[in-house]
C-alpha cells in the first residue's frame, strides 16, 4: 500500500477516518492524500452578477487555512500528508483524484445508523462508493491502533462477482488478514438447496482457481446474515461488492449493501464489480 485518500469535512467522523488512515500509513509506509471539496458551484465561480472572483478566492483560502489547522494532529507526525482542496463537488472527482495519484485505498467516515450521512457537504459515502474503482473503507467509530486480522467477505458467488472477489482477496493479502468467505442463504425467492448452493460455489472457485472454504449461513435476510455471521466469528471488518454507478450488487437487493454499511458496528470495505 502506497497511498491512501481520506475525504475530510472537518467532522468527528472524518477524523475517525483520518486516524485509521494514519494507523495504516504508519504500518505500511504509505502516504496520505487529505481531500476536501468546497461547496462552490460553477455559477458561483463564473457569475459576474452578485458574486466577485475575489470572494471565491477568499472562501478557498479560508478553507485551506481551516484544512491546515485540522491536519495539525500529533498522530500524523512522521507521515507524508498532502492536502488536496478542490473547489467543485462531483462524486466522481474523488475517484479521479485517486486515479491521478495512483491511490490504493479510500478511507472515509460515516455516521451510519440512520443512513449513510454526508461525509462532506452535499454528498455522502454511498455516492462516493458508487463512483470508486478502488476499495473504500467506511469508518464510523474511533478505532485506536486499527488493524484487520480477520476479514469476512460475503458474496453471491455468481460469475459477475469474480472481479470484486479478486479485489477483496488482494485487500486481505495486503492487510495480512485471514479471509472468510460466506454465502447467506435466505428463505423465500432467494432460497437455494444445499446442493444448488455448493454447486454454484464450486463452479465459482474453479473459475477463480482458488481452493477456499465457503461457509453457507442461513438467516432471515442477507443483511442480518452478514452481520450475525461476522459477529459470531469475531471479524474485524466486512467486505461487500458494489456495481458502482449502476447501483449496489443484485446480491444485496439494491439496499442491503447500504444497510450493512449503515448498521454494522464493524468497518465495511466495498469492492466494485467489473474492471
240-269 residue pLDDT tens: 887 654 444 434 444 566 677 777 889 999
Distance between CA 128 and CA 245 in Å, rounded?
10
Distance between CA 162 and CA 1 in Å, rounded?
22
Is residue 42 within 8 A of residue 89, CB to CB? The reply is no
Strand 136-139 with 268-272, pairing = antiparallel
Strand 237-242 with 150-154, pairing = parallel
Distance between CA 121 and CA 127 in Å, rounded?
13
Superfamily holding 150-272: HUPs (3.40.50.620)
> pTM for the full model?
0.85
CA distances from 156 to 47, 65, 101, 203, 228 (A): 50, 47, 32, 12, 17
| Secondary structure (3-state) at 33 | strand
- Domain ranges across the chain: 3-139, 150-272
**74 alpha-carbon distance from chain centroid:** 25
35-48 confidence digits (pLDDT tens): 887 765 555 545 55
Same fold, 3-139 and 150-272: yes
Is residue 25 within 8 A of residue 79, CB to CB? The reply is yes
Residues 6+ apart with CB under 8 A from 228: 217, 219
Residues 6+ apart with CB under 8 A from 273: 160, 161, 163, 164, 241, 242, 243, 244, 249
Distance between CA 223 and CA 131 in Å, rounded?
22
- Which residue, chain included where needed, has cell 450493512? 260
Q: Which CATH architecture has domain 3-139?
A: 3-Layer(aba) Sandwich (3.40)
190-236 confidence digits (pLDDT tens): 789 999 999 999 999 999 999 999 999 999 988 899 999 999 999 99
For residue 180, what are the β-bridge partners? 152
Confidence of residue 116 (pLDDT cuts 50, 70, 90): very low
Amino acid at each position: 500500500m502506497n497511498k491512501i485518500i481520506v475525504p475530510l469535512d472537518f467532522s468527528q467522523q472524518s477524523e475517525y477516518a483520518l486516524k485509521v488512515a494514519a494507523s495504516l500509513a504508519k504500518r505500511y509506509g504509505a502516504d496520505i492524500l487529505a481531500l476536501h471539496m468546497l461547496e462552490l458551484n460553477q455559477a458561483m465561480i463564473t457569475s459576474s452578477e452578485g458574486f466577485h472572483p475575489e470572494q471565491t478566492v477568499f472562501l478557498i483560502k479560508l478553507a485551506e487555512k481551516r484544512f491546515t489547522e485540522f491536519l495539525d494532529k500529533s498522530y500524523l507526525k512522521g507521515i507524508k500528508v498532502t492536502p488536496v482542496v478542490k473547489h467543485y463537488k462531483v462524486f466522481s472527482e474523488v475517484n479521479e483524484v485517486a486515479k491521478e495519484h495512483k491511490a490504493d485505498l479510500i478511507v472515509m467516515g460515516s455516521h451510519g445508523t440512520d443512513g449513510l450521512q454526508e461525509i462532506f457537504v452535499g454528498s455522502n459515502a454511498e455516492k462516493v462508493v458508487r463512483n470508486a474503482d478502488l476499495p473504500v473503507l467506511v469508518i464510523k467509530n474511533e478505532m485506536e491502533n486499527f488493524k484487520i486480522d480477520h476479514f469476512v467477505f460475503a458474496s453471491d458467488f455468481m460469475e459477475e462477482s469474480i472481479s470484486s472477489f479478486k479485489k477483496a482477496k488482494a485487500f486481505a493479502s495486503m492487510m495480512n488478514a485471514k479471509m472468510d468467505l460466506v454465502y447467506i442463504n435466505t428463505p423465500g425467492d432467494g432460497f437455494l438447496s444445499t446442493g444448488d448452493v455448493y454447486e454454484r460455489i464450486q463452479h465459482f472457485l474453479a473459475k477463480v482457481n482458488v481452493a477456499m472454504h465457503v461457509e453457507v449461513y442461513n438467516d432471515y435476510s442477507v443483511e442480518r446474515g452478514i452481520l450475525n455471521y461476522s459477529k459470531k466469528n469475531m471479524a474485524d471488518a466486512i467486505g461487500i461488492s458494489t456495481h458502482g454507478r449502476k447501483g449496489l450488487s443484485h446480491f444485496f437487493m439494491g439496499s442491503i449493501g447500504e444497510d450493512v454499511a449503515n448498521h454494522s458496528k464493524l468497518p465495511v470495505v466495498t469492492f466494485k464489480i467489473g474492471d
